Amino acid sequence: MGDYGGGWRYAGAAAADSRRGGSTPTKRTRRDYEDGPPVRGAYGTPRAGERDMGYGARDRGYDDRGPRGGWRDADGLGGGGDLMQYGGGGMGGNDLGMGPGLGMPGGGGVSLGPLTLVGLPDDPPILGHGGRMVGLDGGMGGRPGGLGLNGVAAEADALRGNVDVLPPDASSTLFVDGLPQDCTRREAAHIFRPFIGFKEVRLVHKDAKRVDGGKVVLCFVEFADPRCAATALEALQGYKFDETDHDSYALRLTFARHPGPRGPAPPRSLR
């Protein structure tokens, strides 16, 4: 756990739940995972609690959403600004484009065939880092006061000094390993897409140390900024890609040693 160097810690006690591994999601099949990760809240939001979210996000969120953004890319892997909505704009973390019926809408390329991208009603994606977290706390421990207000709660947190302190080596790129060899770029992207600031994922196939013909899949995930990356890192640390497969262990995430194409500071080219 000393992964991120000295004393870095998250505002919430996310790790606790995350590492305990006990409160894992209900039984799921591999197929389910491909629909999206059983994201627990970045701040340890218990899955059970997610049902209690006050705002009827579920109703409005999924139905009329249809083939919403996030699925437009030809390969369905793009991140793009669409997802920024999660924590930024409106209602909350439920804007996931993964509603029911997502499998068909003309979107581009999400034809996962029988995969049915049915959207995990009980899996509202979470995703944001402290600064943009939206009321996902719905009633669980952590912080006092009613959360659920965009920004407001977050700012209160900030004032309390409860802000995320990024480790010195934090970067916008995460290095992930522990992915199964047969993991596709699409699958990997599915895991990270729900997080604010997700941009893209790059898979790399390397030869394992043992020349038993094993290949290990490494993965580099690009985020808009180090904080976004840190949030995903923390939330997915130890994520069991496939619990039923004894060959695949928990994911292991760290900040990339040599940050991505753009690095942490992509200043002028964007202006």
Partner DNA sequence: AGCACA
Which of 218, 238, 243, 264 is in the footprint of DNA by CB under 7 A? Answer: 218
239: contact with DNA by CB under 7 A: no
CA 129 – CA 195 distance, rounded (Å): 9
Q: Which residues contact 22 (CB under 8 A, 6 or more apart)?
A: none
Report if residue 206 touches DNA, rule: CB under 7 A.
Answer: yes
Pick the stretch among 48-56, 81-89, 174-182, 190-198 that binds DNA (CB under 7 A).
Answer: 174-182
Task: Tell me whether residue 91 or residue 256 sits nearer to DNA (CB atom).
Answer: 256
Beta bridge partners of 252: 177
The full DSSP string for 132-150 is G--S--TT-SS-SS---ST
Q: How far is CA 16 from the centre of its chain?
A: 17
Least Cα distance to 193 among 19, 5, 55, 39 occurs for 39
Q: What is the CA radius of gyration of the chain?
A: 18
In the bound state with DNA, the residue whose beta carbon lies nearer, of 162 and 184, is: 184
Q: Which is nearer to DNA, 150 or 171 (CB)?
A: 171
∠ Cα 239 244 247 (to 5°)? 80
User: Which of 16-24, 83-91, 119-127, 200-208 is the region at the interface with DNA (rule: CB under 7 A)?
Assistant: 200-208
Site track 219-238 with DNA (rule: CB under 7 A), x = hit? -x------------------
> What distance in Å separates the CA atoms of residue 174 and residue 159, rounded to the nearest whole number?
28
Q: Kindly state whether residue 252 participates in binding DNA, applying the rule CB under 7 A.
A: yes
Contact between 173 and DNA per CB under 7 A: yes
Stretch that binds DNA, among 73-81, 89-97, 148-156, 199-207 (CB under 7 A): 199-207
Distance CA 226, CA 164 (A): 11
Decide whether 94 or 173 has the Cβ nearer to DNA.
173
52-60, 160-168, 236-244, 257-265 -> range binding DNA (CB under 7 A): 257-265
Q: Is 204 in the site for DNA (CB under 7 A)?
A: yes
| Spatial distance between the Cα atoms of 268 and 265, rounded to a whole number of angstroms | 9
* 24 is a site residue for DNA (CB under 7 A): no
Structure tokens at 256: 């990339």
Amino acid present at 140: M
What residues make contact with DNA under the rule CB under 7 A?
173, 175, 177-178, 202, 204, 206, 218, 220, 249, 252, 254-261
